Structure 1
Amino acid sequence: MAHFNFAKDISELVKMDGPMQKSTLMRWERKAQEAGASTSPSKPRCKTPGKTGALSSGATAKTPKTPSCSQEDKSANGCRSGKKTKTPGAKTPGVQTVHQDRFIPSRATSDIEYGHFAVTKKATEDEENDPGEEDINNQEYKHQLLEAMEMKDRKILNFKGKAPEASRPAVNSLNVLYSCSKSSTKQASTTRHIPRAPDRVLDAPQLMDDYYLNLLDWSHGNILSVVLGTAVFLWNADTGTITQLMELTDTQDHVTSVCSVPESSVLAVGLSNGNVQLWNTDQQKLLRTMSGHPARVGSLSWNSHILSSGCRTGAIHHHDVRVAQHQVAELVHHNQEVCGLSWSPDGRHLASGGNDNLVNVWGNQIGPQQPIHTFSDHQSAVKAIAWCPWKSHLLATGGGTADRHIRMWNVQSGSNLGAYDSESQVCSILWSKEYKELASGHGYAHNHIRIWKYPNMAKIVDLVGHNARVLSMAMSPDGTTIASAAADETIRLWKCFAVDSKTKKSTHDTSAPVKSKETSGYSMCIR
């Protein structure tokens, strides 16, 4: 039962609703009792700062608002002679506190920050008035540190003077990269000005809006050939004259493709009836007609004396224009219309694109053969095919509306070098001869020409002006101007690859004049 008694005592001790009867009086209560029992006539003194002394014997104290204490309360709470002592911490007006045995300072004077400030200030004043041993040691340390930083009358850290000269001349191979001298030459601008507006606009009425046809060509004689319905027109870029080369008598037929012989005045014309005609643009004379295709010829490409023609059936014919029996080979691998055809600059490979979404790369052998590479990454018809002029093994191809990508191929290894989204139908691609750039003509949905930077294929500029899709593009002989034929029946000339005259003069001093070059081209003929 001892633990029950212990718990009962604990509960009695922690009760806060009544006074503790058997507890020892507090110190201030005992002092009050002693003060009441004392008969000393001296006035009690209040040690609390800021308070006045006790009331004088002649003064009458104000009656407190609380009721008077009983005798038992007086003995318990320390009341004497009808006067109630002030509880510490309580502020009863009109009642003076009794004597206290200790000094309670004001909280304002016990502020820690003020005390720290006072101590610090005193220590500082003492140091200024009487420098001690510690200050002397600090001065000695500073003096030794100053001597240690000096070496042979030359400071290690010196921000005013120049650096000392090297003991021997030093050669820096990266001096140009890190030179900040004002006398250094200015770097050449990395960007060039490309006119956003066309240099000239030509009307092309009755230009057929057919994605699979190739209706534009720019010969080395600076003659632009354009197919308008059943006729072929020649525009001389030097003089601005327009000449009608030929026109079909049968209204059921129409011209489907044109391609000129490099450095010559001979123009190949593909027809919708499957025939291929050869015309002399200088004399405006028909040289010969070559048959063999059962359907329209939508694409043509020259390789010296070999003319390759792509048919709607998917077959490709090689024509040797020097002999009477012109057809020397037939390449059959496409199962739909061949709409893109191009020989490489070195004449070693022929690239063909078809409506079956395939790209085939053929060799230059005469006779039946299978393609060296077949690329099936495109998701739409491939009409845009272009070989890089400075890398004969680099091929760029573009897909139609469902694909919209330009893809780079290495025909030596057969690898895909990258695919780039053009956001529009790709109708044609041309490489620049002066810059590492290429231009692409687009149809739905933007109908513009975009110039790309190779090899990162970053967009340089978009040439906007056509109101319908750009069906075909051709490059001028000097490589500075692009001609674009669109379904809005206009041909626009964009001078987007212009070269600085000084740079061109220094790099082409040994080249022959344009006039003599054209004359040598015209002297070529087909046997």
Structure 2
Amino acid sequence: MYSSPFSYSTKGGFSRALASPNKAQSPLRSNRISPYSKDRFVSPAKSPSRSPLREGTNSIVDTSANKRQSTPTTPKNRRAPIAEDNILDAPDVQKSLPVKLIDFNKNGDLAIALGTSIYIWSQGQVTELMNGGTQFDAVSWCDEGLIISGNGNIELWDVRQQVAFFAFQNHERRCSAISASGSMAATGGADGITRITDTRSGDFQELKLHSKCGEISSLAWSYDGRYLAAGANHVVGVFKSKQPQLYEASGKVQSLSWTQGDILYAADYDQGNVQMIRATMNSVLNQVDTGSPISGLCYTDSWGLVTASAVTGDWSIYTPRELKLISDYHGHSDGIINITACEERNLVATIGLDETLRIWTLKEPRGPLNSPSVVRRPPSPFGNFGIR
């Protein structure tokens, strides 16, 4: 059972927790009618595409007996994974950062926010969940369903029934930072407020990161739900109680990711600096300047720390302890907006300014350990026609 470090109080006038789907009045107009054709997503076409390996240590696995207490290690003689991507059209992609347009759950289902619609990609099939009549800013899976946000309105949806059954307290103008741990959902908005809501009881609590932090641009619960990390302008905060431990950043922190222990990775958009923070020690263990603004990152035990460039359209894998570059992967013709990973299915998804969504399958490289692990695009029987 989840044990929260916070004490909650129910605010007056809010009593819609787990309301009947027939009673939930959606501010997002959930009529599930799309103005677009069913071909909005083009059928996926495999197109292996990755860059030659750079020098460096290869892929990682944390082999310690107790992952919650250990710092990630990098086994020797591991190489960067092969990545094959399925390419799907992504028109009307929201380009006003920060946003959280894609999110994987543990089953490998990908939630996608495009324009005024929410889609679910599952095992190669795409279905529309709803059309809300407003521009969506964020999607995030939780145990109870899928959280969606548009224009500051936030709802929890039952994906199978395609109905909204819980409404959160609104944020002013925009809520682009969402993270869930069990039934506890954290939301952050342009109003600078971080709000933690119990989706079962409806109780919530408001937290303040810093008086001058501005918009909350990223949130991430630790794996065990003991810590909540929040990113904003030039600051990272880790909540263990109502008062956060603050860490200075060189720009707006738009991406956060935890290991299965107490290690937090935080990346800023402006300078592309990645910090490695140990929450239990309140200390920065390591940091690296990637040389490119970072729009997203995610940690996996199997492959390492995955980062996305907001400028070049590349994503990269780093060793989790030394923060050494393993390899870059090319695909998008413009910057990446968001990146997410599903370690259970060896999947990485990226959505870019080039209006494409790419779902990458990671595989162990073939051949001897000392052979180069480079994927070459196979010749196409259709000549040089592009695939969209």
TM-score (norm 2): 0.71
Q: What's the offset of the Cα at 1:337?
A: 0.7
1:244/1:457 CA distance change after superposition, 3 Å: same
Greater C-alpha radius of gyration: 1
The one-letter code of the counterpart of 1:485 is I
The one-letter code of the counterpart of 1:370 is Q
1:189/1:386 CA distance change after superposition, 3 Å: closer
The one-letter code of the counterpart of 2:187 is S
Counterpart pick for 1:394 among 263, 282, 285: 263
Q: What's the offset of the Cα at 1:317?
A: 0.6
What is the aligned partner in structure 2 of residue 255 from structure 1? 136
Q: What's the offset of the Cα at 1:296?
A: 0.9
The more displaced of 403-412 and 343-352 is 403-412
Counterpart pick for 1:329 among 206, 229, 236: 206
What is the aligned partner in structure 1 of residue 372 from structure 2? none
Identical residues among aligned pairs (%): 23
What is the aligned partner in structure 2 of residue 270 from structure 1? 149
**Is 2:296–2:307's contact at 8 Å kept on the other side of the alignment?**
yes
* Alignment partner of 1:375 is 2:247: yes
What is the aligned partner in structure 1 of residue 197 from structure 2? 319
TM-score (norm 1): 0.53
Equivalent-residue separation in structure 2 for 1:332 and 1:358 (angstroms) = 9
The one-letter code of the counterpart of 2:77 is T
Greater per-residue helix proportion: 1
Q: What's the offset of the Cα at 1:194?
A: 2.5
**Is 1:473–1:485's contact at 8 Å kept on the other side of the alignment?**
yes
Q: What's the offset of the Cα at 1:305?
A: 1.3
* Alignment partner of 1:358 is 2:235: yes
**Is 2:302–2:343's contact at 8 Å kept on the other side of the alignment?**
no
What is the aligned partner in structure 1 of residue 187 from structure 2? 309
Deviations, residues 218-271 of structure 1 (Å, cap 9, x unaligned): 12233211111111011112xx2211111123xxx3111110014x5x000112
* Alignment partner of 1:412 is 2:280: yes
What is the aligned partner in structure 1 of residue 32 from structure 2? none
**Is 2:346–2:361's contact at 8 Å kept on the other side of the alignment?**
yes
The one-letter code of the counterpart of 2:78 is T
> Unmatched 5+ residue regions in structure 1?
1-187, 501-527
Deviations, residues 390-423 of structure 1 (Å, cap 9, x unaligned): xx2111111112x211111111121111221111
Counterpart pick for 2:97 among 211, 215, 220: 211
* Alignment partner of 1:423 is 2:291: yes
**Is 1:434–1:497's contact at 8 Å kept on the other side of the alignment?**
no
Equivalent-residue separation in structure 2 for 1:322 and 1:476 (angstroms) = 26
1:498/1:338 CA distance change after superposition, 3 Å: farther
1:448/1:327 CA distance change after superposition, 3 Å: same
Equivalent-residue separation in structure 1 for 2:207 and 2:317 (angstroms) = 36
Alignment size in residue pairs: 291
Equivalent-residue separation in structure 1 for 2:316 and 2:343 (angstroms) = 20
Deviations, residues 473-514 of structure 1 (Å, cap 9, x unaligned): 1112515121111111111122235599xxxxxxxxxxxxxx
The one-letter code of the counterpart of 1:235 is W
Greater per-residue strand proportion: 2
What is the aligned partner in structure 2 of residue 289 from structure 1? 167
Task: Please give the secondary structure, in 1, of the residue aligned with 2:81.
Answer: coil
Deviations, residues 454-480 of structure 1 (Å, cap 9, x unaligned): 322221110011111111111125151
Q: What's the offset of the Cα at 1:432?
A: 1.5
Q: How does 1:423-502 map to 2 (within 5 A)?
A: 423-435=291-303, 437-444=304-311, 446-476=312-342, 478-496=344-362, 498=364
